[in-house]
Amino acid sequence: MKRWMQFASVPLVMAIIACLPGCSSKSTSANSQSEIITITGAGSTFVTPIMTRWIADYRQSHPNVQVNYQSIGSGGGIQQLKKQLIDFGASDAALTDDQLKEMPAPVIQIAESAGPVCITYNLPELTKPLRLTSAALSGIFLGTVKKWTDPAIAKSNPGVKLPNKDIVVAHRSDGSGTTNIFTSYLATVNPDWANKVGKGLSVNWPVGLGGKGSEGVTGLVKQTEGGIGYVELTYATQNHLPVAEVQNKAGQWVAPSAQAATAAIDAFKDELNKDLRSSIVDPARAAQEAYPISGMTYLLIPQDGTDRTKRAALKDFISYVISNGQQVSTQLDYAQLPDSLKQIDQKLLGELTAAGQGL
């Protein structure tokens, strides 16, 4: 990552004055105002909508800091971080202890947001939200529930005339934290899925068509009648696609929302306070308002770096994300982090260094 300097033209007389004794501080101030600091991040498509908002809002008060974010999927972000091509990564799957050991240098993981992974579908005949149990949903993605009229679906949708159409599954083709959240849920609620498919950034899907990024999955569902897929709520909303209500462990039908994801976080508060990497899928029965397919998303940051100016700017941007930036989260269907997690994040952020020295 390179810094570049952009100098405004200055009259010659000012240049001479700047060289006079006692004027060095003014010259330094002028240069710092014109310096552009470029920070590059990459990864999660799940967090792209809110990340785009954070970057735009932060730039308004920090015009000399340019944050570029590439929406390439969590797997891609992790690989670019491993190759030391970016300043930070974003992933909906926290790095395991084994993955951390594979990194060329220590990495700090900071929780930045949370949200629901929604089930979107293309059934023009339906006039109210589709309802899906964990058994129906896992059966659809296992390929054992093949028709929309299957009893596993019809039983939860009494009085709804379901179309006698084949179910067309759409899933991610790239390494994806969204996939990790969704497959973690399926592995938790269905032993067959856990044994046959498992969970992770990418899996061997039993059925379906692959789309690159959440954009690709959304596109497949939108153009295919009978299609079903999993994406972030913002992608479904922006493309005017309906989302299903999913039955949680308490037996409640819950639509994906920021508030329902917050309820999932609250249900796992103790676990998260011990380890930010804890999963928040399928909360206990007591969490009646929780959406069961919710997940955390993380910033992955090298603990140390060589460019002190860039590192200080990166630390300040992340500090904004986990503090004032949280206030806009619900506007884009993301859950705000609770104060307890913000405090943990701030403590971790304090571990960032430049050339081994604190910032």
- For 47-81, the pLDDT digits (tens) are 998 999 999 999 999 999 999 999 998 889 999 99
Beta strands in 143-271 (DSSP E): 168-172, 209-211, 227-232, 245-247, 253-254
pLDDT at 301: 97
Supply 273's token pair.
């306070």
Within a 10 A sphere around the Cβ of 356, how many other Cβ atoms? 8
CATH class of residue range 116-245 = alpha beta
CATH of 12-114+296-358 among 2.60.40.10, 3.30.70.1230, 2.170.130.10, 3.40.190.10: 3.40.190.10
Q: Considering only 24-28, 41-45, 125-129, 198-202, which range has the smallest mean pLDDT?
A: 24-28
Model confidence at 6: pLDDT above 80: no
**Arithmetic mean of pLDDT, 19-47:** 63
Structure tokens at 102: 């594979």
Strand-by-strand arrangement of the 168-172 sheet: 65-71, 37-43, 88-91, 294-302, 107-121, 227-232, 168-172, 209-211
Task: Please state the pTM of the whole predicted model.
Answer: 0.82
Report the range of poorest mean pLDDT among 138-142, 188-192, 273-277: 273-277
pLDDT tens digits, residue range 304-351? 999 999 999 999 999 999 999 999 998 888 988 988 899 999 999 999
Per-residue confidence (pLDDT) for residue 32, from 0 to 100? 45
The pLDDT, as a whole number, for residue 46 is 85
Query: Does 171 have pLDDT greater than 60?
Result: yes
Q: Does residue 16 register a pLDDT over 90?
A: no
Mean pLDDT of the chain: 88
How far is Cα 294 from Cα 262, in angstroms, rounded to an integer? 9
Angle, helices 74-82 vs 177-189, to 10°: value is: 120
| DSSP code string of 17-71 | HHTSTT-HHHHHHHHHHHPBEEEEEEE-STTHHHHHHHHHHHHHH-TTEEEEEEE
Q: Is 105 helix (H, G, I), strand (E, B) or coil?
A: coil
- Distance (Å, whole) CA 257 – CA 245: 10
**Could you give the angle at the alpha carbon of 55 between the alpha carbons of 326 and 29, nearest 5°?**
110
Q: Where in the chain is the domain with CATH 3.40.190.10?
A: 12-114+296-358, 116-245
Q: How far apart are CA 139 and CA 43, in angstroms?
A: 30
